[in-house]
Amino acid sequence: MSIGKTGKILLADIGGTNARFSLSEDDEAGPIDYVKVADFPTVREAIADVLARRSAGEQPTRAVLAVAGPVTNNRCVMTNSPWVIDGNELQPALGFDSVHVLNDFEVVAWSLPALLPADLIPLGGQEGLPGEPLLVVGPGTGFGVSCLVERHGARLAVVTEAGHATLPAENEREERVIACLRKRLGHVSIERGALSGSGLQSLYEALAEVDGAQVPHRDAAAITKAALEGSCPVSRATLDMFCAILGSVAGNLAVTFGARGGVYVAGGIAPRFPEFLTASAFRARFEAKGRFQDYLRNIPTRLVTKPDASFLGLKMFADHNPD
């Protein structure tokens, strides 16, 4: 949604290690500034530095900040950095009219209507129903889930902690793997048990134990590499199971949210192996919901490949919330 002239806006995507900033004016997005979080003791000083270098003396009126962490009352205490992102403090301190602090996956949800066919790889299904909820799931460092809902011209991105729900099993082999994980972890969540970087490693180690295989220690990147090369059967089985579980979980969330507009896969892991994901059991497991199979069959699934989709989401939020 575009509302015409919006003035200059500071957009930011802030992680635990790096932060990216851009100044957007009307429909023009500026270049992205990359900042190391460790180089600045506070986010306020980082923003002041970016504005001093990029604003050409023209103060932005608003700021919209995406953060990798939970947001409460427009404030986020970063998990993996000393920064505290508090919009209510930054607003007067830096002279903004408003500062919005959003969860990073909330921002990805906001980006979905603006994504173009070139930003996506189809993973099956139909076209999706206009105006119906759009769901995004993302295995990465954790497992993010957010749903964009539109009603009567108003949009809301629902932020969830779905990654901490219990990991489901669809067959006996997965039950054995989850039983093995339960001995190690206690509660086996979607995130810790499978659909994240550490989850992929947990899955690999549990599969090796279930199959009685001796395998070297591998992190998520090494497991993925060995699977794609075909050099390790356990790694290949791990990636197969990862894709299958991702399909089941995405299907569960699609019926939970009624996401008949479409389901999108984002995050840092799946875009590394689009061909493997397309050929996997992902889509079959997505649809495998018994009497609701026809409902799922009509929902499109797509892989998000655009690396800076968060800035689309930040701008979409800013345009839709012109305060």
**pLDDT, tens only, 81-116:** 889 999 999 999 999 999 999 999 999 999 999 999
pLDDT band at 5 (very low <50, low <70, confident <90, very high): very low
232 pLDDT exceeds 60?
A: yes
Q: What is the structure's pLDDT at 57?
A: 73
pTM: 0.91
Q: What is the structure's pLDDT at 281?
A: 98
Q: ∠ CA 27-29-30 to the nearest 5 degrees?
A: 145
152 pLDDT exceeds 70?
A: yes
Q: What is the structure's pLDDT at 54?
A: 83
Cα 214 to Cα 198: distance, rounded to the nearest angstrom: 19
- Token pair in block for residue 223: 């497991």
Cα 8 to Cα 238: distance, rounded to the nearest angstrom: 47
Rounded percentage of the chain residues whose pLDDT exceeds 90: 83
Long-range contacts of 156-160 (CB under 8 A, 24+ apart): 157/102, 157/106, 157/107, 157/109, 157/110, 157/317, 158/109, 158/257, 159/71, 159/103, 159/105, 159/106
109 neighbors 264 (Cβ within 8 angstroms): no
pLDDT band at 141 (very low <50, low <70, confident <90, very high): confident
Q: Characterize the bridge pairing of strands 134-139 and 143-151.
A: antiparallel
Segment 38-46 shows an average pLDDT of: 95
140 pLDDT exceeds 60?
A: yes
Buried b (16+ CB within 10 A) or exposed e, 110-133: bbbbbbeeebbbebbbeebeeebb
Cα 105 to Cα 248: distance, rounded to the nearest angstrom: 20
Closest Cα partner for 114 from 267, 320, 283? 320
Q: What is the structure's pLDDT at 6?
A: 55
279 pLDDT exceeds 50?
A: yes
Q: What is the structure's pLDDT at 16?
A: 84
Q: Characterize the bridge pairing of strands 98-103 and 84-86.
A: unpaired
Segment 107-133 shows an average pLDDT of: 95
The 10s digit of each residue's pLDDT in 52-67 is 988 777 889 999 999 9
1 pLDDT exceeds 60?
A: no
Rounded percentage of the chain residues whose pLDDT exceeds 70: 98
